Amino acid sequence: MVDVSAKEVTRRRAVARAFVRMSAATAAAVAAGDAPKGDVLGVARIAGIQAAKQTGALIPLCHPLGLDHVDVRAELADGGVAIEAEASVEGRTGVEMEAMVAASVAALTIYDMVKGIERGVAIESVELVAKSGGRSGDWQRGAQ
């Protein structure tokens, strides 16, 4: 791992998103709570939060962090489910990977929960949206 012991402790925050594309019929089943495995959006939210807390064990060379906050929002959108994950910590290293792992695992959970309805569901555009804190400061997708 990179030695972060000389870095300043700062408030760090990251937001990531993912999109799970599915048919209108599958989205309707999700909305109605008719998916074979139950509450798709609720389970995806919890899975994403759990995953963020395990990032240091999942990604080689990623520092294990005692996160201060994690939230995952999953909601139906045109063409599928939009996921947004946020993580924050007071620490010496950022939480970008925690936010991205949360969004990714939430998306994978949605796939798992609806694959009995539709095998062609696709996970798209897992990406970092914004980060703040640390030596490199703030960054936001699309802002140059």
Q: What is the pLDDT of residues 92-137, one digit of tens each?
A: 999 999 999 999 999 999 999 999 999 999 999 999 999 999 888 8
pLDDT of res. 136: 87
Q: Token pair for residue 16?
A: 């990531």
Residue 67 has pLDDT above 90, yes or no: yes
∠ CA(66), CA(42), CA(32), 5° rounding?
170
Q: Which CATH class is domain 12-133?
A: alpha beta
User: Which strands make up the sheet holding 139-140, listed edge to edge?
Assistant: 69-77, 80-91, 10-21, 122-132, 139-140
User: Percentage of the chain with pLDDT > 70?
Assistant: 99
Virtual torsion, Cα 129, 97, 116, 80, nearest 10 deg: 0
Q: What is the pLDDT of residues 6-54, one digit of tens each?
A: 998 999 999 999 999 999 999 999 999 999 999 999 999 999 999 999 9
**Where does the pLDDT of residue 143 fall: very low under 50, low under 70, confident under 90, or very high at 90 and above?**
confident
pLDDT of res. 11: 96
**Where does the pLDDT of residue 63 fall: very low under 50, low under 70, confident under 90, or very high at 90 and above?**
very high
Answer yes or no: 3 catalytic: no
**Where does the pLDDT of residue 144 fall: very low under 50, low under 70, confident under 90, or very high at 90 and above?**
low
Residue 38, H or E segment: none
pLDDT of res. 135: 86
Q: Token pair for residue 82?
A: 């939009």
Q: What is the overall mean pLDDT for the chain?
A: 96
Which residues are CB-neighbours of 80 under 8 A, at least 6 positions away?
Answer: 19, 20, 21, 22, 27, 121
Catalytic entry in 68, 78, 112, 138: 112
Q: What is the rounded distance in angstroms from the CA atom of residue 14 to the CA atom of residue 137?
A: 12
